[in-house]
Structure 1
């Protein structure tokens, strides 16, 4: 049985929320690693590359946050006009 449009929207939003948490965790870990490298006078090239990795992760957090807001709004609009018989409690919990 294929997923319903409601299930697809809910799962996409859950995936983005999980992705955001992973990026935030990655930023935290990378910051610690860069600080450790700085305190140990690591090779400049290696340090520069790790700082680039950190900056890329930092740029992804607001991007994913924006996508979450877009998906929440789309799910909210979908729920307002939804006439199906599926349980919408999980979906409604996500848009709060």
Structure 2
């Protein structure tokens, strides 16, 4: 089981995750991709990563705009699983020429 991050630990992690903001017990990031197929390609890559680490984000798809939400529901909040997956999502977005929305 993953331990919940303290407010200080989360604040430190977010300094390395500029796309992401805290919304209660959730981390959230939104990015715009150049095209709808590019957005779906990002979703597919994130799905592969999420399956490999057995930690799955909520993903909202609006044409070429994607919103990701992360929380460790089994722990009732935010853990290192969330910040680690956020960093991996950022890597996918960086390669895909996404812009913050």
Q: Do the structures match in fold with TM over 0.5?
A: no
Higher-Rg structure is: 1
What TM-score, normalized by structure 2, do the two folds share?
0.30
Higher share in strand = 2
What TM-score, normalized by structure 1, do the two folds share?
0.31
Higher share in helix = 1
